[in-house]
Chain A
Amino acid sequence: MRCPYCRDEIKAGAQYACPACQTPHHRECWDQNGGCTVWGCAQAPGDGEKITIGAEGHAAGEAGLARSGSAPPPPPPPGARTGAQYHIDRSGNRMGPYSLEEARHFFAQGLLLPSDLAWTEGMTDWLPLTEVLSSGRRVPPLLPPAPSQVVAGPVGIAGVGPGNRPKTYMLEAILVTLFCCLPFGIPAIVFASQVDSKYNAGDYQGAQNASNSAKTWYHVSLIVGFIVIVIWIIAAAAGS
C-alpha cells in the first residue's frame, strides 16, 4: 500500500495508521505533515501546524486549506513515539502500533475506546486498553493469540492461550475407533486425551499440537474407513 503523503510503498512494519481514519502512513511522513494526510480527517493538521520541508516541496498545504473554524486535536509530540509498540484491535480492525504515550494521548481524545484491546510483545494475551494504560504490566512471554482471526465454529482454531482451549476431538476419536474398524482411531484417542492434560499443565503449544494430531488421526481414520466401505460395497455388489 502507498503512503498518501509521499506516494511511496509502505513496507510492512514501517506503517503508522491514523487513529481516526486508519489510513496507513509512513511515520516520517506523518511527522512531516503534522498529522493525517486525508482531507477532512479529524487528525489532519490545520493551517500553520505543519512542519515545512523546504526543497522537496510536497504540496501538503491542500490538507488544511478548505477547513475553517474547528481546531483539530493536536497530534502527539514526535518524542512520544518511543517505547514499546502497542497494537490495537477493535473487533478485528488493527490499529497502530502506538507507543504507550501515544495510545494514552489518543485515548484521552476519545479516538481509542476502553473496549479496544491492546497487545505488545511480551504479553500473553490481548488486554483491554484501560488495563494496559493503567498498569503497563508485562507477563511472561508466550505466543500472542489473534482475536481477529475468523474461526469456523469450534473453539481452538484461533490462537491458543488462557481462555481459549483447543478442541480435544475425543468424541470423534471414540466414534471413529468404534466404527471405522481400523486401529487408526487409537492414536486419535491418545492425542485427544493429551490435549486437556497438557493445557491444564500450562503447555498451551503442546495442547494445540495434541489437538492437531488428534484431528489428523481422526481424519485419516475417517477417510481410510470410507474408502474401505466403498470398496467393500462395490465388491459385494459385483460379486452377487
Chain B
Amino acid sequence: MSGLFKHDFCGQLRGSLGRPRASCVLALAAGCFALAVIYAFPPEVTRWYPKCPFHYLTGLNCPGCGSLRALHALTHGRVVEALGCNPFLVVCLPLVAAGAVVRFLSGLVRNRSVELRLPEKLSLGLVVGVIVFFVARNVPAYPFTLLSP
C-alpha cells in the first residue's frame, strides 16, 4: 500500500501547488495583525470593536463571550484576568496554537496542510466541555458567575 500513498501525495501535490503555502502565510499574517490590534486597543473602551450579537440579543453568554477581553489580557501577560474573562479560551489556547503551528509548518515545508488530530477522548471532552461551559456560565449563582466576564 505504500505505493498507493506515495501516488496519492503526488496527485495532491500537483493539484494544490502554491495554494497551501500561500494561504498559510496569509493566515499567519492575518493572525499577527489581529493580535497586534487586540494588544493595542483595550476592548472595553474601544467603540468600534464588535460586541457579541448573541449576548446583545438574548442577554446570555455564548462560549465566545469575553474572548476579546481575554486575548487582550493575555497579550499583556495577565493570565488570571484572562481566565476570569473566558476560561475556555485559555484552556484551548495550547491546542489551538499547536494545531496552527502544525498547519503552518507543514503548509510551508511540505506544501500540504496537515491537520493535528486530537485523540478521540480529547475530542469528546472538548464537545462536552464546550456545552457544559455554555450552560454553566449562564447560571446566575455564585461559583458559575466566575466563568463570565
A contacts, CB < 8 Å to B: 91-92, 115, 117, 125-128, 147-155, 158, 162-165, 167-168, 170-171, 174-175, 177-183, 185-186, 189-190, 192-193, 196-197, 200, 228-229, 232-233, 236-237, 240
**Quick check: B127 and A185 within 8 Å, CB to CB?**
no
For A191, the closest partner residue in chain B by CB is B127
**Quick check: B12 and A153 within 8 Å, CB to CB?**
yes
Q: How many angstroms from the CA of A177 to the CA of B131 in the assembled complex?
A: 11
For A190, the closest partner residue in chain B by CB is B127
**Quick check: A178 and B88 within 8 Å, CB to CB?**
yes
Select A115's contact among B3, B50, B95, B126, beta carbons within 8 Å. Answer: B3
Q: Tell me which residues from 9 to 23 in chain B have a Cβ below 8 Å from any Cβ of chain A.
A: 10-12, 14-16, 19-20, 23
**Quick check: A151 and B63 within 8 Å, CB to CB?**
no
Select A170's contact among B8, B52, B118, beta carbons within 8 Å. Answer: B118
Q: Which residues of B contact A179 (CB under 8 A)?
A: 64, 67-68
**B142 interfacial by beta-carbon distance below 8 Å:** no
Q: How many angstroms from the CA of A168 to the CA of B126 in the assembled complex?
A: 13
**Quick check: A229 and B19 within 8 Å, CB to CB?**
no
Q: Which residues of B contact A240 (CB under 8 A)?
A: 47
B contacts, CB < 8 Å to A: 1, 3-5, 7-8, 10-12, 14-16, 19-20, 23, 47-48, 50-55, 62-65, 67-68, 86, 88-89, 92, 95-96, 99-100, 103, 107, 112-118, 120, 123-124, 126-127, 130-131, 134
**Quick check: A167 and B115 within 8 Å, CB to CB?**
yes
7 closest A-B pairs by beta carbon, nearest first, are A150-B15, A193-B123, A181-B52, A153-B16, A171-B99, A153-B20, A181-B64
How many contacting A-B pairs (Cβ < 8 A)?
151
Q: Which residues of A contact B127 (CB under 8 A)?
A: 189-190, 193
**Quick check: B15 and A174 within 8 Å, CB to CB?**
no
Given A117-B4, A128-B3, A152-B15; A91-B54 close (CB under 8 Å):
no
Q: Which residues of A contact B64 (CB under 8 A)?
A: 177-182, 185
Most buried by B among A117, A178, A179, A183: A178
For A164, the closest partner residue in chain B by CB is B8
Measured between C-beta atoms, what is the minimum distance from A146 to chain B in Å? 10
